[in-house]
Amino acid sequence: MNLAKKRIVVTGGSGFLGSHVVHQLRKLDCTDIFIPRSHEYDLRKEHDVNKMLQDFRPDIILHLAAVVGGIGANQKNPGKYFYDNLIMGTQLMEQSRLFGVEKFVAIGTICSYPKHASVPFQEEDIWNGYPEETNAPYGLAKKMMLVQSQAYREQYGFNSIYLLPVNLYGPGDNFDLETSHVIPAIIRKCVDAIRNDEKKIVLWGTGSVTREFIYVEDAAQAIIAATMSYDQSEPVNIGSGHEISIKSLAETIKQLSGFQGEIEWDKTKPDGQPRRLLDVTKAKERFGFAAQTSLLAGLEKTIAWYMAHPHMQGRIPT
């Protein structure tokens, strides 16, 4: 598919992942890109979704918008995270089908996998248990787009695909400690401790759990590759294929940032899911994607960005 000739809506296009996806589209000479702003189009409301479709008349929709955060934010907002993400996906896919959108790309989450899924997580295992409790409402809401996508393909022939990325990180990430994920949170704590001459930082949990991460530019390239050449109903994992413990991650960030103090682990706080690692074979087989950025290289770039933008606690504006 030649994307340069298509009219493309990118929901969440001004956010962290979305801004990188838009950048990749522009590198492909895409000029008809529309980014719906939440103050103009509330994607939870049918009227606003229809208005967006009428205003831009897209051929392709990349649905990246999400209400998302770390463990703490999920614990504080389980109902909001469930409802907002569920209704956005449901409304947008249904109205896109009725409008005749050519292709719908739904972005899911690794949080949809069962808490005790076999490692590495394979796409076929996504229904083999309940997600980790702290982010189950968010993960299940996003997983409903997979159900809807497959049902709509079967009944209506609607061309929608569903991608499952791991945790993202990179320049422009959300560094607000109330809502950020683990990498930006640790980076901010280390860098801010250096600036404030603090001798200790406190991190949640035991540090023993493991996670997989993908650099945001790699994730954006995966989404573009799938949009161009993947048209099947099976979900596809998007990741780096490499696993690291949170304790090792924290020590790496400490070293790269230059923080010389102590890391204290608050074991009264939850760890979350014990392990997260994706089998990324299908992405390579189906649309030729393999992540190119090592964790070390990605962390260096992300730390450098935060050091250069100390006032940017939230996502970078576009």
For residues 279 and 237, is the Cβ–Cβ distance under 8 A? yes
pLDDT at 273: 83
Its pTM stands at 0.93
Please write the tens of the pLDDT for every residue from 282-292. Answer: 999 999 999 99
Please write the tens of the pLDDT for every residue from 125-182. Answer: 999 999 999 899 999 999 999 999 999 999 999 999 999 999 999 999 999 988 888 9
Three-state DSSP string of the chain: CCHHHCCEEEECCCCHHHHHHHHHHHHCCCCCEECCCCCCCCCCCHHHHHHHHHHHCCCEEEECCCCCCCHHHHHHCHHHHHHHHHHHHHHHHHHHHHHCCCEEEEECCHHHCECCCCCCECHHHCCCCCECHHHHHHHHHHHHHHHHHHHHHHHHCCCEEEEEECEEECCCCCCCCCCCCHHHHHHHHHHHHHHCCCCEEEEECCCCCEEEEEEHHHHHHHHHHHHHHCCCCCCEEECCCCEEEHHHHHHHHHHHHCCCCEEEEECCCCCCCCCCCECCHHHHHHHCCCCCCCHHHHHHHHHHHHHHCCCCCCCCCC
Query: Which is the catalytic residue, given 41, 81, 113, 138?
Result: 138
pLDDT at 317: 36
- Average pLDDT across the chain, whole number: 95
Write down all domains in the chain, each with its CATH number in brackets: 3-173+213-241+275-292 (3.40.50.720)
Q: Is 210 exposed, middle or buried (0-12, 13-18, 19+ CB in 10 A)?
A: middle
**138 catalytically annotated:** yes
Which percentage of the chain shows pLDDT scores above 90? 90
- Distances in Å between the Cα of 227 and the Cα atoms of 45, 104, 252 are 26, 9, 34
